Structure 1
Amino acid sequence: MSVRLALAAALASCLIGIAGFAYGIHAGTAQEQAAQKRADDARDAERAKLQGQIDASAQQHQAAEYARQGAVREIYHESQKVIERPVYRNVCLDADGVRLLDRAAATANGEPVANSVGAAGAPADGPAQPQR
Structure 2
Amino acid sequence: MAGLPSLALASALAACLTGIGGYAYGVHVGTAQEQAAQKARDDARETLRQQAQGHIDTSAQAHQAREYARQTTVRDIYHESEKIIDRPVYGAACIDADGVRLLDRAAATANGQREPDPAGPAAQPSAAPAR
TM-score (normalised: structure 1): 0.61
2:66 corresponds to 1:59: no
SS at match of 1:96: coil
Structure 1 96/19 Cα, relative in aligned 2: closer, same or farther at 3 Å? farther
Distance 1:77 1:57 in 2: 36
Unaligned runs of 5+ in 1: 101-122, 124-132
Unaligned runs of 5+ in 2: 81-108
Amino acid at match of 2:126: D
CA distances 1:49-75 after superposition (whole Å, capped 9, x unpaired)? 121121111111111100100111123
Equivalenced residue count is 96
In percent, how many aligned pairs have the same letter? 57
User: Counterparts of 1:15-94 in structure 2 under 5 Å?
Assistant: 15-76=17-78, 81=110, 90-94=122-126
Distance 1:76 1:27 in 2: 77
Distance 2:9 2:76 in 1: 99
Distance 2:54 2:46 in 1: 12
- Answer 1 or 2: higher relative contact order, Cα 8 Å, separation at least 6: 1
CA distances 1:34-54 after superposition (whole Å, capped 9, x unpaired)? 011011111111211121121
Amino acid at match of 2:7: L
- TM-fit CA distance, 1:23: 0.9
